[in-house]
C-alpha cells in the first residue's frame, strides 16, 4: 500500500520520537507547494501567516534535514535554499541562474541513466545524487548579448 507523502512524514517523525504537529505539517506543505527551493526567510514568511514562529521553522528544517526529508540547494548569492527530496518530491536536477537567481527544474532521465551506467562494475552502490547546473537563464543571457 502506498502511503501519502504526509503519512510517510508522520511515520518518519514517529520513528524519531517526534510528533506530527500542525506546525511541522505547515512547514512541510509550504515546501511541497513551492515551485522552487525556499530560503529560510521565504519559508518563514509563508508559514508566519499560519502563526508558525521563526524558531520552529529553524528547528523543523534541522529535523527534516536529519530525516532526509529535505535537501539544501545553493541559491543566488550563496543563500541556502531548502526543498523536499524523493519520495516527497519527484527527482529532478536544477539550473540556477547566477545573475537573477531563478531556479528551474530540469528533467533527469537520460542523465541519470548515464550516471548509473558509469557506476556499473565499480562496486559502488549509489543511494542518490543531486545535480545543480549554474549559468545564465535565457532572459539574463539575452540581456548581455
Contacts with Zn ion by CB under 5 A lie at: 97, 99-100, 108, 112, 137, 140
**b/e 30-66 (16+ beta carbons within 10 angstroms → b):** bbeebebbbbeebbbebbeeeebeeebbeebbebbee
The CB-of-127 to Zn ion minimum distance in angstroms stands at 12
The CB-of-133 to Zn ion minimum distance in angstroms stands at 11
Strands 93-97 and 132-135: parallel
- Select 74 or 108, whichever has its Cβ closest to Zn ion: 108
- Select 84 or 137, whichever has its Cβ closest to Zn ion: 137
The CB-of-15 to Zn ion minimum distance in angstroms stands at 26
Q: Measured between alpha carbons, how far is 10 from 2 in angstroms, rounded to an integer?
A: 14
- Select 16 or 109, whichever has its Cβ closest to Zn ion: 109
- Select 29 or 91, whichever has its Cβ closest to Zn ion: 91
Grid coordinates of 114: 548515464
The CB-of-76 to Zn ion minimum distance in angstroms stands at 9
Amino acid at each position: 500500500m502506498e502511503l501519502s507523502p504526509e503519512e510517510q512524514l508522520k511515520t518518519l517523525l514517529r520513528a524519531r520520537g517526534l510528533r506530527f504537529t500542525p506546525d511541522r505539517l505547515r512547514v512541510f506543505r509550504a515546501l511541497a507547494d513551492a515551485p522552487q527551493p525556499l530560503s529560510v526567510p521565504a519559508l518563514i514568511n509563508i508559514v508566519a501567516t499560519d502563526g508558525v514562529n521563526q524558531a520552529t521553522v529553524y528547528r523543523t528544517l534541522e529535523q527534516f534535514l536529519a530525516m532526509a526529508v529535505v535537501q539544501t540547494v545553493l541559491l543566488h548569492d550563496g543563500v541556502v535554499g531548502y526543498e523536499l527530496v524523493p519520495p516527497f518530491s519527484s527527482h529532478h536536477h536544477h539550473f540556477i541562474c547566477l545573475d537573477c537567481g531563478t531556479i528551474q527544474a530540469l528533467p533527469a532521465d537520460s542523465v541519470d541513466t548515464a550516471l548509473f551506467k558509469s557506476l556499473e562494475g565499480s562496486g559502488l552502490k549509489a543511494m542518490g545524487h543531486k545535480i545543480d547546473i549554474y549559468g545564465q537563464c535565457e532572459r539574463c543571457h539575452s540581456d548581455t548579448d
